[in-house]
Every structure is written in structure tokens, then in C-alpha cells.
Amino acid sequence: MRKRRLVVLGATGSIGQSAAKVVDDLPDRLEIAGLAAHRNAALLAEQANKYRPEALCLVDGTKADELRARLAPDYRPRLLFGEDGLIELATSATDADLVLVAIVGTGGLRPALAAIEAGRDLAVASKEILVMAGETVMRAAAAKGVKVLPVDSEHNAIFQCLEGRDPATVRRLILTASGGPFRLWTVAQIAAATPAQALKHPTWDMGQKISIDSATLFNKGLEMIEARWLFDVPMSRVDVVVHPQSIVHSMVEFIDSSVLAQLSHSDMCFPIQYAATWPDRVANRLPPLDFARLGKLEFEPPRTADFPALDLARAAGEAGGTLPAVLNAANEVAVEGFLAGRIPFPRIWEVVEQVMTAHRLVAAPDLGAILVADAEARAAAARAVQPE
């Protein structure tokens, strides 16, 4: 069997490193054709020396000499730099079958659209792509006959539950949320939360931005919008339930009130593997669940009044147009402001709400209008996180 060849955008991040583990686990099925990182030249070189892909991209070109110096002397890959390098790596620089987009923030959008145009299947870990431009991305993928495979654990779970089902039989998508580190905190405690506290996720080991999003529940909000586009269901049929154990990764309720769920340990290798080997299920070395040891799986409603991110995201997803991109951009800037110690924790959603309220929505935007809305929202949010 021909190996499936992967390009990994965001190779040195948390998802990228898990993708490398999946490739290590399934060497007969998968191989790496290209790797891209933002600025971690040392780790990119280490990965590249191991997997020997034909092309590499380092977005931060000022680290080019460091990357060259660290590559093995007998290995001469094609080296690409900058945002254009990402696009080239996702398209013409390799003959990859699947492009895994795992770039933090919005930098994955253009490469993802370019990969679709080039007829490459997409595995999407960067939720910003579908939040900002879900309609555009899914329309382009359908036109090109390209698959968009979800890597986010919740969407991967729903994707698995939906397979082979008639969309007309689906009543609700039920996203599970861990509830984040502040699930049981009082409103007063939440108001005084520090970055160190917010970065401590109870069940998942993730990057900084997504850990803060998990504490505010903006992560779940973004995932609601992502689900709406990936699976083409209205926002009103996307629900959230808190499930502290992070074992049930999400569920689908059908019109007969039966529910299918996907369960596994909370390790991103599970959804990455499913996306990378789809439509096959492949034996691996990941640990199975031991239900007797797990003991219990709990569910509770989300605290929407104390974590306004969910309602803000629902409103953005229902309004559509440029509003989801605005929510996403304002949140990114507010999270940076919080991590830098410039704003208190609850200011994150206050900034997002303020920027959303001031935004003049563009319905059915093209990519240009989305990027303008994104830039304007960033500027507005940056003003809002300045100390008074």
C-alpha cells in the first residue's frame, strides 16, 4: 500500500508533535513530505533530520541560518521561508496527499485555501480557519472535491459518529467541554484568575492560546462555530455539555433520540490518526479505555452566565458574515493582553463583546472582507486592552 504523505504546518507545536508520534506509530501507513514551523528552528531541524521530508518552511526567515546550520550534512531539503513559503509547502513544493494545518491563530487560512485549490485533502486542527471563513473553505473544498477532515477532538468525534448517516436524520450535535480549570470556581475567584492559573488545564496538555480559550470557554465557542460549518447544521442545533473527564469527545443525537458518542483517552494522537488514515481504522499502540477504572463519566450544563464566551459565539455563529472572524480576532488580542498582564481575566470577554458590538457586519463576505474585518477587530481590541 502506498503510504499517505503528510505536510504538517505547525510541526513544532503541540498538535504537530502529536502528529509526529502518530507517524512513528504507523510507519507503514504514513510519511512526512513537508514540515513547517513558525520560529522554532532547533526543533524543526531535529524533526527534519529524523523524517527527512523533501521540503521545509520556517516562517520567520531571520532564523534561516540557524536552521541551515542544524540540518544534517547529508540532507539537503528545499528550504522555504515566510508566509509564501507556507503556501508553497502546502501546494507545489511536495506531492503530499494531506495537509495538516495546525498553526496557532489565523496564519493557516491562506495556506489552507491554497491547499484546497491545489486539490490536496485538508486535516484541520486550526479552528480559526473554519471560524473565520467556514463558508468559503467548505464551498471551495466541495467545488474541488477535496476532503476537510477535522482534527479538533470534538469535531473528529462528531465526524466519526456521523459517518454513513443521512444528514436528515441528525437532530443535534452535542459538543463536550471539560469546563476548563475554573469550572468550579466562584465568580469572584474567576475575576481574580492569573495567567498561571488559567494555563493549568485539568485534562488536556495544550498550547498557551488554546489553554486560555479553554479557561474562558471561548475554545468551545469557537468549536460551536466550527461545527456549524464543518457539518452544515444551523447554530441552533449545536449544543454544549460540560464533561469534566474529557473521555466522551462529543456526541450526535439523531431524530429517534438515539445518541452516538466517540470515546477515548484525551490524547490528540487519536483524532490525528483518524484524520490521517481515514477512511480506514488502523491498529495502533495507543491505550484502550478501561471503564471499570474510569468509574464514572459526569455531565453538567455549562455556566453560561459566568462564562459569556458561549453566548457570544452563538450570537456570532447565528449572525454569520464577518462576525465570527471579529469574535476570533478580538479574542486573540484580548488573550495576548491577559497573558501579558495588561487586563484581568473577565476583560477578555468584555473586550470581545465590545469589539463585536461596534462591528458593522458584512453578510456573505469574500476572503478580502473577512481579512479586513479581522484586521479592524484586532486594532479595536488592541485599543481596548491598553491600560486605562
DSSP of 8-38, one letter per residue? EETTTSHHHHHHHHHHHH-TTTEEEEEEEES
C-alpha to C-alpha distance for 1 and 22, rounded to whole angstroms: 18
Considering only residues 170 through 209, tell me which ones interact with Mg ion, judged by CB under 5 A. Answer: none
Nearer to Mg ion, 221 or 337 (CB): 221
> Smallest distance from the beta carbon of 153 to Mg ion, in angstroms?
5
Residue 66 Cβ, how far from Mg ion at the closest point, in Å? Answer: 33
Cβ closer to Mg ion: 121 or 152?
Answer: 152
Give the span between the Cα atoms of 315 and 285, in whole angstroms: 42
Q: Which is nearer to Mg ion, 36 or 158 (CB)?
A: 158
Residue with smallest beta-carbon separation from Mg ion? 152
Task: Report how far residue 331's alpha carbon sits from residue 235's, in angstroms, rounded to the nearest whole number.
Answer: 20
For residues 308 and 353, the answer to whether their CB atoms sit within 8 Å is yes
Instruction: Tell me the one-letter amino acid at 314.
Output: R
Q: Are 94 and 34 in contact, with CB atoms under 8 Å apart?
A: yes
Measured from the CB atom, the residue of 49 and 208 that comes closer to Mg ion is 208
Q: What is the C-alpha separation between 348 and 213, in angstroms, rounded? A: 10
CB 106 to Mg ion: min, Å: 17
Residue 255 CB, shortest distance to Mg ion, in Å, is 26
Q: Which is nearer to Mg ion, 156 or 322 (CB)?
A: 156
- Give the Cα separation of 193 and 183 in Å (integer): 12
Which residues within the stretch 134-173 sit at the binding site for Mg ion (CB under 5 A)?
Answer: 152-154
Angle between helices 153-162 and 218-230 (to 10 degrees): 30
Q: How far apart are CA 204 and CA 55, in angstroms?
A: 31
Size of the site for Mg ion (CB under 5 A): 3
Site for Mg ion in 68-107 (CB under 5 A): none
CB of 152 to Mg ion, least distance (A): 4
Of 81 and 278, which CB lies nearer to Mg ion in the complex structure? 278
**Shortest Å distance, C-beta 144 to Mg ion:** 26
Rg (CA), the chain: 20
Name the residue nearer to Mg ion (CB basis): 152 or 253: 152
**Closest separation in Å from C-beta 288 to Mg ion:** 21
Q: With the C-alpha atoms ordered 209, 210, 212, 213, is the resulting torsion angle positive or negative?
A: positive
- Relative orientation angle of helices 323-339 and 128-144, to the nearest 10 degrees: 140
The least CB distance from residue 267 to Mg ion, in Å, is 13
Question: What's the DSSP call for residue 287?
Answer: P
CB of residue 164 to Mg ion, shortest distance in Å? 23
Contact between 213 and Mg ion by CB under 5 A: the answer reads: no
Cis peptide before 234 (omega within 30 of 0): no
Instruction: Using the minimum distance from each CB to Mg ion, give the nearer residue, 33 or 215.
Output: 215
Select 222 or 348, whichever has its Cβ closest to Mg ion: 222
The binding site for Mg ion (CB under 5 A) comprises 152-154
